[in-house]
Amino acid sequence: MIWIEILSPHGEVITRVRIAGSEARIGRGYDNDVIIDDPYVAASHLRIFRSEDGKLIAEDMGSVNGTFLYGDRTRLSRVAVDGKLPVRIGQTFVRIREPGHLVEPERIARAERPALPRVVAAVLGVLVLGLTALNVWLAQTGEPRVSSYLTPLLATFAAVLVWTGMWAVLTRIFSDRSHFLRNLVIALAGTLALTVYVEFARYFAYAFIWPLAVTYQYAALWTIVAIICFLHLRNVGTGRLWLKGAIVTTGLAILVATLTLQRWEVLSEFGRQNTATQLMPPSLRVVPVKRLDVFFGDIAKLKAGLDNDRRSSKPGADR
């Protein structure tokens, strides 16, 4: 008896076929014991049989595209299978196992907590919408209107749903389950992190006269977006996380370097201009403000130096 498993590209078992005899043939033709609907598989591609010492052997039957072990690019005409490494024929992975192949012990089932993800998503949603409404209230300088609150709240809600729906579709395509709630929690947590960073950056820039957090805000925000994308990719599938991390990190590095170069070119041509984007109460300032007499004294020293330089310069020296 032989068991033949057809695997997905992610290594999941799609179907299992039980062969009662000691030999099996695999291919695209209807005269095979296992028929594979893959245009890159030959009509008669693979023959499975037992050697004299009882081992299972996979033998290529003269196919054009060949037979390979998983992770190996060496074309094989015959290979002994151990039930662990799949064999690739065309674009399909096949695993051959004995009836007595040892399986892993059953996993310990965790207690189901279906309410916890919903509670987390609800709390994150309330925090995101609450911070959005608070920002609108702090930035208002005129009469309050319902539309001024409703528009940003609906825009935030719609953006989170569209982003979550996009990743849920990708997760459904590649892992057969949408995991909408997980993707929603990731999206809400990322949105909350973006909002909190922007507000803290503004506060530190004002309270401590530390503009770096605002000046390089684009790098921090895109880093948060990259982390969100990696978590979504991990939710799509846990395979090859190092490759997914490398792709996200490379894309982030290229994007931040490009934005930094563009900002440097603009600043070198037009100069730096710092503008306060949001008024804050003086009570939030931690670094003490200079007294008026000290400030105007510094201005007088600067003016005296400029006047001295102007008097000492000779007419026509810059020609």
Q: What is the pLDDT along the chain (319 residues), one digit of tens a residue?
A: 899 999 987 778 889 999 988 899 999 999 999 999 999 999 999 999 988 888 899 999 999 999 999 888 889 999 888 888 899 999 999 999 988 888 888 877 766 666 788 888 899 999 998 888 888 877 776 777 788 888 888 998 999 999 999 999 988 888 777 888 889 999 999 999 998 988 888 887 777 777 777 888 889 999 999 999 999 988 887 777 888 889 999 999 999 999 888 888 776 665 555 555 566 666 666 666 666 777 778 788 888 888 887 877 756 555 4
> What is the per-residue pLDDT for 149?
82
Residue 96 structure tokens: 């051959």
Residues 91 and 12 reside in one and the same domain: yes
Residues 16 and 152 reside in one and the same domain: no
83 and 95 in contact (C-beta within 8 Å)?
yes
The answer to whether residue 195 is domain-embedded is yes
Residues 86 and 129 reside in one and the same domain: no
Residues 93 and 119 reside in one and the same domain: no
**Number of domains the chain is built from:** 2
Strand partners, 49: 57
87 and 58 in contact (C-beta within 8 Å)?
yes
Which run of H or of E encompasses 189? helix 180-207
CA distances from 44 to 6, 31, 59, 79, 97 (A): 16, 8, 11, 17, 20
Residues 62 and 125 reside in one and the same domain: no
Torsion of CA 43, 48, 51, 53, to 10 degrees: 170
Residues 120 and 93 reside in one and the same domain: no
Residues 197 and 141 reside in one and the same domain: yes
**Residue finishing a domain among 248, 270, 292:** 270
Ramachandran assignment for 179, one of left (phi > 0), alpha (psi -120 to 50 degrees), beta (any other)? left
CATH at 48: 2.60.200.20
Beta strands in the chain (DSSP E): 2-7, 13-19, 24-27, 34-35, 46-50, 56-60, 67-69, 78-80, 87-89, 92-97
Residues 169 and 35 reside in one and the same domain: no
The answer to whether residue 168 is domain-embedded is yes
The answer to whether residue 12 is domain-embedded is yes
Residues 128 and 81 reside in one and the same domain: no
Burial class (CB in 10 A: 0-12, 13-18, 19+), 205: buried
The answer to whether residue 305 is domain-embedded is no
Cα(285)–Cα(128) distance, integer angstroms = 26
> What is the per-residue pLDDT for 278?
60
Q: Which of 63, 60, 61, 62 is nearest to 87 (CA)?
A: 60
Residues 159 and 50 reside in one and the same domain: no
Residue 189 structure tokens: 């947590």
The answer to whether residue 29 is domain-embedded is yes
Residues 123 and 263 reside in one and the same domain: yes
Using N-to-C axis directions, what is the helix angle for 180-207 and 146-175, rounded to 10°? 130
Cα(252)–Cα(226) distance, integer angstroms = 7
The answer to whether residue 131 is domain-embedded is yes
The answer to whether residue 244 is domain-embedded is yes
**Domain extent for 256:** 115-270
The answer to whether residue 74 is domain-embedded is yes
Residues 185 and 254 reside in one and the same domain: yes
